[in-house]
Amino acid sequence: MALAGAAALAPASAAFAHKFVMPDKFLPQLVNTQQSDWLPGEVHVTPDEFFLYLMLEGGMAIRYGVGVGRKKLYTPGVFTVQRKAEWPWWRPTNAMIRREPDVYAKYADGVPGGPSNPLGARALYLYNDDGHDTYLRIHGTNAPSTIGSAVSNGCARLTNEHIKDLYPRVEIGARVYLYPKSVVS
C-alpha cells in the first residue's frame, strides 16, 4: 500500500536528464513490519534489504529505500539522533582523507550546503550513548541510482526527495538501529 503523503513526492528521476527510474520497492511506502518490538518514532535500517523503516503505531512503518556503507565501512549499532540540519555543511572525515586522499583531500576545508553537497538536502546526525558524534549520518543524495547499493563511507542515504519527507518526521532523541549485514561466504 503506497503512502499517501509520499505519493505527492516527485519521482526521483524528475530532475535528471538521464531519466533514472527508481525501482518501486525503494519508493516510500506504508508497510506492516510485523515487528511488535519496534516502537513508534524509532528508525530501523536493514542493510541487506536496503530499507529504512520509520516506525508508526501497531507495527506499521513508512519504508524508504536506502544506500548503505560499502564493505568494511558500515557500522551497525544503536544510535540517537542528536542533531538535524537542512542543506548541511560537509567535511570528509580524517579517515576518509587518509583512505582516499585523491578523492577527499580537496574537500578538507569543507563544502557548503547546497545541491552538490554529498550530504544532500537534509541530514540526521547519529550519536552514541556517551553523547559523542559517530560521524554516521542519515542523509540525502543527489545520486539516486546509489539507492539499493552499498557504496557510501558508512552512512545511510536516501534520495533528496525522500530525506525531505523523512526529516520532519524524525524527532531529536529518536533511536536509530543499524542492523548488521549478513555474512556472505
Catalytic residue numbers, as ranges? 139, 155
Quote the cell numbers at residue 4: 499517501
Give CA–CA dist 111/61, Å, rounded: 34
* Nearest Cα residue to 158 out of 56, 27, 34, 67: 67
Question: Which residues partner with 51 through β-bridges?
Answer: 46, 65
Alpha-carbon distance of 109 to 90, in angstroms, equals 9
Q: Which residue has the cell 529504512?
A: 52
Separation between Cα atoms, residue 175 and residue 54, nearest integer Å: 10
Residues with Cβ within 8 Å of 140's Cβ and at least 6 positions away in sequence, in order, are: 119, 120, 121, 122, 123, 157, 158, 159, 160, 162, 163, 164
